[in-house]
Amino acid sequence: MSSSETTLPPRGALAQSIYFLLVPRFSMIAFSMAIEALRLTNRVMGHAVYDWHLVSKGGEPVRASNGVVVSVERDLEEVRRACMDPTRTRMVLVCSGVEVEQFDDSSVFAWLRRMYSQGVSIGGLCTGAWILARSGLLNNRRCAIHWENLPGFAERFPDAFVKSCLFEVDQNIYTCAGGTASLDMMLHLIGIAQGEHVIARVCEQCLIDRIRPPHDRQRLPIGARIGVQNQRLLSIIELMEANIAEPLSLEEISQVTAISRRHVERLFRQHLGRSPARYYLDVRLERARRLLRHSNLPIVEVAIAAGFVSASHFSKRYRERYGATPQADRQEYEPDLVVNHILSTG
């Protein structure tokens, strides 16, 4: 699909070319929202300010995480040649999604580095930051990635400054956390180039009343997630979530929050039906489960990242919580059962 099929010819300056590199099991919502931002901008302006092209390695169709197969127009070599034109403004956006940790293609990584060295802006949608980091493009750079993948990403790429925000722009590297954050990032970039009046009209077309700023949170506030509004309890939980690898003792939590140990215990029993220690353990095990499912870290490193002093203790607690060992849970996990059904039934 190309914008030349749906928009009027460009007036004046050449349109900016955006190349969407589709990786197997990419996020359809992040991808489609980015394209719609470009299409609607062209529509409200009455001419083609942007054109876009779908790309894959080898030019083969790519299956998204929802099972939809998307045809592409170009392969990597064709894009490399097209991007040699110095009169055009170019950007490559890597579109990925689930199981990005399994993507390991040195030729794609080298191609991204080459595009960047040629002055092409590079971006990643949803989990695209993972591929940019594997390509060596995020060292000492700020970036954003989906919250499920953030713990594993931070462990795997300590030289990247990953943030739990909607999107990040660091010079000519653009990353977003996926979902509707893809629309926010694209509208942010379009607004810089085309002006706020254009973005206002695009927002009207999208039936949204504002662009979220980059540092809006990805997840619901803690209170909304757990159904509790007691501010003292929420401050304790925030402290726990910020100290996973090196868990705090109940005495330390009491000192930091200036809430007596007895009152801390009472708050957890009253609002959550668990002791503080049990809740804290569950938080750490949930972090471990995300690392197991959304990273390829060895199990012993997952245990350390979740604050366990030994792999055996971690395995015991994990089995008690989830009914399977960490290894078995990792092997059995499949994020998209519907897609698996589609693939297995043809």
Tokens of 298: 């060895």
pLDDT for the residue numbered 7: 35
Asked whether residue 345 carries a pLDDT value surpassing 70, the answer given is no
Looking at the chain, the whole-number percentage of residues with pLDDT higher than 90 is 77
| Residue 214 is assigned to a structural domain of this protein | no
d(C-alpha 48, C-alpha 2), whole Å? 11
> Does residue 67 share a domain with residue 12?
yes
214-261 pLDDT per residue, tens: 988 888 788 888 888 899 999 999 999 999 999 999 999 999 999 999
Query: Would you say residue 338 has pLDDT above 70?
Result: no
User: Over 50: is that where the pLDDT of 143 sits?
Assistant: yes
Domain match, 181 and 87 both: yes
201 with 226, same domain: the answer is: no
Give me the CATH number covering residue 55: 3.40.50.880
CB 292 within 8 A of CB 330: yes
Query: In this structure, are 199 and 228 located in the same domain?
Result: no
* Judgement on whether residues 164 and 269 belong to the same structural domain of the protein: no
d(CA 50, CA 64): 24
Please give the tally of structural domains in the chain. 2
Output the pLDDT for position 87: 64
Gap between the Cα atoms of 346 and 340, Å rounded = 10
pLDDT in tens, 80-120: 998 887 667 789 999 999 989 999 999 999 999 999 999 99
Q: Point out the least confidently predicted range of 12-16, 138-142, 159-163, 275-279.
A: 12-16
Q: State how far the Cα of 164 lies from the Cα of 214, in Å rounded to an integer.
A: 10
Mean pLDDT of 277-300: 93
Give the domain range for residue 202: 3-206
Q: Which of 7, 36, 18, 15 is nearest to 184 (CA)?
A: 36
> The whole model's pTM is what?
0.79
- Domain CATH for 319: 1.10.10.60
pLDDT recorded at residue 294: 87
